[in-house]
């Protein structure tokens, strides 16, 4: 019970890595608040998580709405000890085919909303809280079509280090999990059939030294370490869970 009596806010807690993390946090005794946009998957996640879970529908690109919803959640459940700013979208499009609208969508979702998630949560954070951002190996890899996505994740990586420095006077730690290719619904748009998905998973897996994709619960376990007192003197770092994707020659 490493998170007993802790309150954890997990954005994007209705799917993939966020949902896997919510499961681990609930099992470790936390009161969990999940957010998402899709009411069906939010309801299903709440049911699957059981216990004391608050599920809130919110589009995080609406910064004012996020501010209001976080304030209401804190007054319902209590101040936050953990914030996992995890929500995000993928998006591989070749440079020449990326519209301004697509570019702004990815920046607003993966960068602006992450910054304002932390800002909106800040008045409701207990001193000594743990903030975790979700990055990506794309911050350091070169891959065709991923420039816009990679730019958001490179910025999140910088934000982790700078927020760690800024929030340290309150004892608030800020760290990042950095997943490599991880088996979640984020990949669904890239494979329309089961066979295509198997081929995609094999391709992504083959890019890592260990030869397979990560599972969402493997990222969740890194988030648990950063959320818990096990990492009480750890701030401004990232934990990469990528099967050696970024260490492979």
Angstrom distance (rounded) from CA 203 to CA 119: 38
Angstrom distance (rounded) from CA 55 to CA 84: 15
Task: Name which of 31 and 183 has its Cβ closer to ligand NDP.
Answer: 183
Q: Report which secondary-structure segment, H or E, holds 201.
A: helix 194-206
Task: Judge whether 214 and 182 are in contact, CB under 8 Å.
Answer: yes
> Per-residue x/- mask for ligand NDP, residues 44 to 63, rule CB under 6 A?
---------------xxx--
CB neighbour list of residue 21: distance below 8 Å, 6 or more residues apart: 10, 13, 84, 86, 216, 219, 220, 223, 224
Task: Name which of 39 and 171 has its Cβ closer to ligand NDP.
Answer: 39
Q: Which residue of 8, 21, 31, 88 would you call a contact of ligand NDP, by CB under 6 A?
A: 88
Q: Report which secondary-structure segment, H or E, holds 52.
A: none
190 is known as an active-site residue: no
Q: How many residues bind ligand NDP (CB under 6 A)?
A: 26
Interaction between residue 179 and ligand NDP (CB under 6 A): yes
Q: Which residue of 21, 86, 160, 228 would you call a contact of ligand NDP, by CB under 6 A?
A: 86
Task: Kindly provide the b/e burial profile for residues 156-180, where b requires at least 16 CB atoms within 10 angstroms of the residue's own CB.
Answer: bbebbbebbeebeeeebbbbbbbbb
Query: Active-site residue among 11, 149, 174, 242?
Result: 149
The residues in 186-205 that bind ligand NDP, with binding defined as CB under 6 A, are 186
Enzyme catalytic residues? 149
Footprint on this chain of ligand NDP (rule: CB under 6 A): 12, 14-18, 36-38, 41, 59-61, 86-89, 109, 134, 136, 179, 181-182, 184-186
């Amino acid at each position: 019970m490493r998170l007993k009596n802790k309150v954890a806010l997990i954005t994007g807690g209705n799917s993939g890595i966020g949902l896997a993390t919510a499961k681990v946090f609930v099992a470790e005794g936390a009161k969990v608040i999940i957010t998402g946009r899709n009411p069906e998957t939010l309801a299903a996640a709440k049911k699957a998580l059981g216990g004391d879970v608050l599920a809130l529908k919110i589009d995080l690109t609406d910064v004012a709405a996020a501010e209001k919803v976080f304030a209401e959640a804190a007054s319902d459940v209590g101040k936050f000890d953990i914030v996992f700013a995890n929500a995000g979208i993928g998006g591989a499009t070749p440079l020449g085919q990326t519209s301004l609208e697509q570019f702004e969508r990815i920046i607003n979702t993966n960068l602006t909303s992450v910054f304002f998630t932390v800002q909106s949560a800040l008045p409701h954070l207990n001193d000594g809280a743990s903030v975790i951002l979700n990055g990506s190996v794309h911050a350091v890899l070169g891959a065709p079509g991923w420039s816009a996505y990679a730019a958001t994740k490179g910025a999140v990586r910088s934000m982790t280090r700078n927020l760690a420095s800024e929030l340290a006077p309150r004892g608030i730690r800020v760290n990042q999990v950095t997943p490599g290719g991880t088996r979640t619904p984020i990949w669904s748009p890239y494979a329309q059939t089961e066979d295509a998905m198997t081929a995609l998973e094999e391709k992504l897996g083959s890019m890592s030294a260990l030869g397979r994709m990560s599972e969402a619960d493997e990222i969740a376990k890194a988030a648990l370490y950063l959320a818990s007192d096990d990492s009480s003197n750890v701030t401004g770092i990232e934990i990469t869970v990528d099967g050696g994707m970024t260490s492979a020659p």
